[in-house]
Amino acid sequence: MIPVQGYTGARVAVLGLGRSGLTAARALRAGGAHPVCWDDNSDARARAEAEGFETSDLSRSGAFDGVALLVVSPGIPHLYPAPNPYVAAAWAAGVPVDNDIGLFFRSFATEDWSDYETPPKVVAITGSNGKSTTSALIAHVLETAGKSVQLAGNIGRGVLDIDEPDDGGVVVLELSSYQTDLARALTPDVAVFTNLSADHLDRHGGMGGYFAAKRRLFAEGGPDRAVIGVDEAEGHYLANQMSEGAGDDRVIRVSSGQKLTGAGWMVFARKGFLSEYRKGKQIGSIDLRAIKGLPGVHNHQNACAAYAVCRTLGLAPRVIEQGFLSYGGLPHRSQIVAEAGGVTYVNDSKATNVDSAAKALSAFKRIRWICGGLEKEGGVSALSDAAGAVVKAYVIGREAAGFAIQLSGVETEVCTTMEEAVRRAAAEAEAGDTVLLAPAAASFDQYDSFERRGEDFMVQVAKVTGAA
């Protein structure tokens, strides 16, 4: 655990007692603070009380008297679509508001580091798509290279729940916009921006607010090195903001699909080959085509970002390549779950928006596409242009018929349930086909998470392939 520094003897309010909130309360107590906890869910309060934490309704008059800080769990909206009443009460009382990410960056470094030969480093990854794969891939490559590494944040453990780092240790953090938006301290050694596409717009008051939340990772603390995907205008803007000139190699620009030129540090992938250029000269390359854990152009972008991070941490290209070759992929992200009768079954339940689903559709040739769920703002009609490799779509979800209507030019079948969709896709699939779950929608109409949806897909695949 990382004990929270700076609040010894102080009363600190904690709002939201899920994984990150309860961990924050523990870390505050470990640092000598007195947490005062609240959650509207009585079961969550009971769990906190069972650990000896004080609970107190933060909506009551005077609730913030004598409180030094309010720590808000990232899943709780604080400003949009409307100010959270608890957060507004803290504002009115003049109480600073933070989250567990801010507490982590304020508490990570300790006096013990003066005895270390190599100070620990933090790599933080944000963006719309590819964060999890990029984070896991970086951690995997570092581990295979013999480095001490911990994976945390939006993936793996909570940030305050990790172990205090070893000499030369690296902490790899996946950070969502929910986590970067409110943190009062953001000071990674290396910051990564993968890409940007519309998502969580209600939470951030629109696309500008969403990008601003991501940009805070770079603007608030000034990382020693920034790895920035420049396949969208926002990435170009951010790279320009962070750079002092064309040859400034504190910024590493990465791309998938275009050759990058210039005097700076570039990593890009084209036609399945990753290339590293510095000062106009190629100094490294990797053939990504045979790496099964990284299928498709979107994963090649993730590979470029991970490669750039590992290079800035001192790893040689061949060492990174060996790590890539042994990477098995993440559950629910382009995860090959079965191969039977010449048909490949792929679980990409994490493709919860249009952009990530489009990238999944570009990774395979003949696709039996399982899609649908709780639609996000803007609908899914734009996916018709990305569905050229789709033989047929099998639509699930409570609003499956409405979802199917938007897929003009694509043969569709309304299945509603995962069981029926997998059964029908498997029955019609031919050798060489890929049955792909890439929902392009949230899971909450039928499942409590994208993980549960992906697990159901795997159960149904096991049934039709005889592996159950």
129 is in an annotated binding site: yes
- Rounded to whole angstroms, the Cα distance separating 295 from 151 reads 22
For the chain, the average pLDDT equals 94
In this prediction, residue 201 carries a pLDDT of: 86
Give the up-direction half-sphere exposure of residue 437: CA atoms within 13 A in the CB hemisphere: 37
Q: Which residues pair with 67 in a beta bridge?
A: 11
* Digit-coded pLDDT (tens) for 190-216: 999 999 988 888 899 999 999 999 999
154 is in an annotated binding site: no
The contacts found for 258-261 with CB under 8 angstroms, 24 or more apart, are 258/231, 260/230
Reduced to 3 states, what is the DSSP secondary structure of residue 373? Answer: coil
C-beta of residue 100 within 8 angstroms of C-beta of residue 71: yes
Question: What domains, with CATH codes, occur in the chain?
Answer: 11-98 (3.40.50.720), 104-325 (3.40.1190.10), 335-465 (3.90.190.20)
128 is in an annotated binding site: yes
C-beta of residue 27 within 8 angstroms of C-beta of residue 6: no
DSSP state of 161: G
In this prediction, residue 221 carries a pLDDT of: 81
pLDDT at 315 over 70: yes
259 is in an annotated binding site: no
The pairing of beta strand 265-270 with beta strand 273-278? antiparallel
* Digit-coded pLDDT (tens) for 327-361: 988 889 888 899 999 999 999 999 998 888 998 99
C-beta of residue 211 within 8 angstroms of C-beta of residue 203: no
Categorise residue 297: left if φ over 0, alpha if ψ from -120 to 50, beta otherwise. Answer: alpha
**Residues for the chain: how many in total?**
468
* Digit-coded pLDDT (tens) for 35-51: 999 999 999 999 999 99
In this prediction, residue 217 carries a pLDDT of: 96
DSSP letter string over 78-124? SSSSS--HHHHHHHHHT--EE-HHHHHHHHS--GGGGG-SS--EEEE
In this prediction, residue 222 carries a pLDDT of: 86
- Beta strands, E only, 237-389: 251-256, 265-270, 273-278, 281-287, 335-340, 343-347, 366-371
In this prediction, residue 468 carries a pLDDT of: 67
Lowest mean pLDDT among 154-158, 167-171, 182-186: 154-158
- Rounded to whole angstroms, the Cα distance separating 419 from 429 reads 15
C-beta of residue 251 within 8 angstroms of C-beta of residue 312: no
376 is in an annotated binding site: no
pLDDT at 174 over 90: yes
Residue 273 sits at the vertex; the CA angle it makes with 268 and 277, to the nearest 5 degrees, is 40
- Rounded to whole angstroms, the Cα distance separating 324 from 307 reads 9
- Rounded to whole angstroms, the Cα distance separating 427 from 445 reads 26
DSSP letter string over 175-217? --HHHHTT-S----SEEEE----S-SHHHHTSHHHHHHHHHHH
127 is in an annotated binding site: yes
For 251, list phi and psi in degrees, rounded to 5.
Answer: -110, 125
**225, two tokens:** 């090195």
Residue type, 153: G
The contacts found for 285-291 with CB under 8 angstroms, 24 or more apart, are 285/317, 286/317, 286/320, 286/321, 286/324, 288/324, 290/325, 291/324, 291/325, 291/327
Q: How far is CA 50 from CA 11, 34, 72, 343, in A?
A: 19, 16, 21, 50
As a whole-number percent, the residues of the chain with pLDDT over 70 amount to 100
**136, two tokens:** 């896991």
pLDDT at 2 over 90: yes
* Digit-coded pLDDT (tens) for 227-254: 999 999 999 999 999 999 988 999 999 9
In this prediction, residue 334 carries a pLDDT of: 86
In this prediction, residue 458 carries a pLDDT of: 97
In this prediction, residue 463 carries a pLDDT of: 97
* Digit-coded pLDDT (tens) for 363-407: 899 999 999 999 887 778 888 888 999 999 999 999 999 999 999
133 is in an annotated binding site: yes
Q: Containing H/E element for 320?
A: helix 317-325
- Rounded to whole angstroms, the Cα distance separating 262 from 278 reads 8
In this prediction, residue 256 carries a pLDDT of: 92
DSSP letter string over 338-371? EEETTEEEEE-TT--SHHHHHHHHTT-SEEEEEE
pTM exceeds cut of 0.75: yes
